[in-house]
Amino acid sequence: MPSYARLDGPEGVDQQRRRPQQQQQQQQQPLYGEDASMGFVAFMVSAGLAVQGAAFVLLRSYLKSDVCDSWVLMYSEVIKFLFSFCFSYQHWRLYFTSTGAAVVPVITYGIMNLLSFWSLKRLPAVLSIIIIQLKLVFTALFSRIFLKRPLLTTRSFALSALVFACISITRYEQILTDQQEFAEVLRDGTAQPFHRSVNMLAAGGLVLETMLSGLMSVYMQTLFEMHPVVMWRRNTQLAAWSTAFYTGVALLNHDCAVAPRSWTNPDLNSVYLAFLSAAGGVLVALSILYAGAVGKVVATSASVALTVLAEAVFVNLQLPDVLLSSLCLSALNAVIMYSTVK
């Protein structure tokens, strides 16, 4: 009978032999996101994002630019667009498919930036950093709701350790600052009690910003479809829309109109900041792809510890004390724990 002959013949035997191999190859295909089996890649990308965040925070205070911030952000989006285009130009026809999905994060990130700039000016630095750690909580919560990720795992304890370590680092630094300020006041002979009031509206705005950040991290993970080709294509779309968004903001911003330099005549510091910001955007996309939405926020929180260590060594030219070093190492250990455990 023909059907049995095909199964019992040499070709049928070869097909039966190849079927388990094909199934094994399918099972060995790399996964992306929190389920990724490429822990080393996820760790390296997250470490790069943490270093970029620390470098941007430190250099932002020293690289003074005469160009408006909106134009600097526009430069960074152009750089990110060109970089992402180099990895996705072969699929350029797909740039014009589902472009509306890229508009949502562009508008949301714009609202987040406005909330962040407005709130951070009106809140103490310690309270701001503590509230920002809520990004981990909201991202893990939204991952559970929309991506069906488990909450009570070994990684959850790593996240808890990271949150408390970052809060402790910030609080300890504030205590050291208060002691220095109090010593100066006593030296001047004008001792006065410290009065610190909290702008609740600004605090609420920053909490809303952290909530939107967690929601957008999960949305971006879904938007990238956890595949490199899709990620680069979506990143190109996002950069194009963001370029148009920040250009419109700059044209309508009075501060940009009266700035010493225009967008056609940037200074060197603005170029440095633009490249550093663009590197952060690319690393965020790679972090979401390889480490998942929560992994991206973990790397961002780890930059707090790196910023403290880098500021002590390179700015203050002194090593941090034992307690501060232990807290920073605890935060970095939590990041390593999250990146390596399943």
For the chain, first and last CA: distance in Å? 51
∠ CA(328), CA(316), CA(307), 5° rounding? 35
**pLDDT of 270 higher than 90:** no
Q: Give the count of alpha carbons within 13 A of 189, CB side only.
A: 0
Residue 197, by phi and psi: left (phi above 0), alpha (psi -120 to 50) or beta?
beta
User: What tokens does 86 get?
Assistant: 């180099």
Residue with tokens 């002979």: 189
Q: What is the pLDDT averaged over residues 312-338?
A: 79
**pLDDT of 269 higher than 80:** yes
Q: What is the pLDDT averaged over residues 94-123?
A: 78
Q: What is the pLDDT averaged over residues 224-253?
A: 84
Tell which residue, 61, 65, 62, has the closest CA to residue 267. Answer: 65
Q: What is the pLDDT of residues 22-49, one digit of tens each?
A: 444 444 444 444 444 456 777 788 788 8
**pLDDT of 167 higher than 90:** no
How far is CA 235 from each of CA 225, 242, 281, rounded to the nearest angstrom? 12, 10, 9
CA distance 233 to 202: 36
CA distance 239 to 283: 14
| pLDDT computed for residue 8 by the predictor | 45
Task: Work out the pLDDT band at 273, boundaries 50, 70, 90.
Answer: confident
Task: Work out the pLDDT band at 221, boundaries 50, 70, 90.
Answer: confident
Torsion of CA 34, 40, 44, 46, to 10 degrees: 20
Q: Which helix (H) or strand (E) holds 177?
A: helix 154-188
CA distance 239 to 32: 22
Q: Which of 24-28, 280-284, 300-304 has the highest mean pLDDT?
A: 280-284
Torsion of CA 194, 195, 200, 201, to 10 degrees: -100
Phi and psi dihedrals of 46, rounded to 5?
A: -65, -40
Phi and psi dihedrals of 266, rounded to 5?
A: -75, 150
Mean pLDDT score across all residues of the chain: 75
**pLDDT of 4 higher than 50:** no
pLDDT above 90 covers a percentage of the chain that reads 4
Q: Is the pLDDT higher at 157 or at 38?
A: 157
**pLDDT of 151 higher than 70:** no
How far is CA 209 from each of CA 134, 201, 297, rounded to the nearest angstrom? 10, 12, 13
Residue with tokens 């330099």: 261
Q: What is the pLDDT of residues 63-85, one digit of tens each?
A: 777 788 788 888 999 999 999 99
**Lowest mean pLDDT, pick from 24-38, 189-203, 214-228, 305-319:** 24-38
CA distance 92 to 95: 5
Q: What is the pLDDT averaged over residues 240-255?
A: 86
Q: What global pTM score does this model have?
A: 0.70
| pLDDT computed for residue 86 by the predictor | 92
Q: What is the pLDDT of residues 173-197, one digit of tens each?
A: 777 777 777 777 667 665 555 555 6
| pLDDT computed for residue 23 by the predictor | 44
| pLDDT computed for residue 188 by the predictor | 67
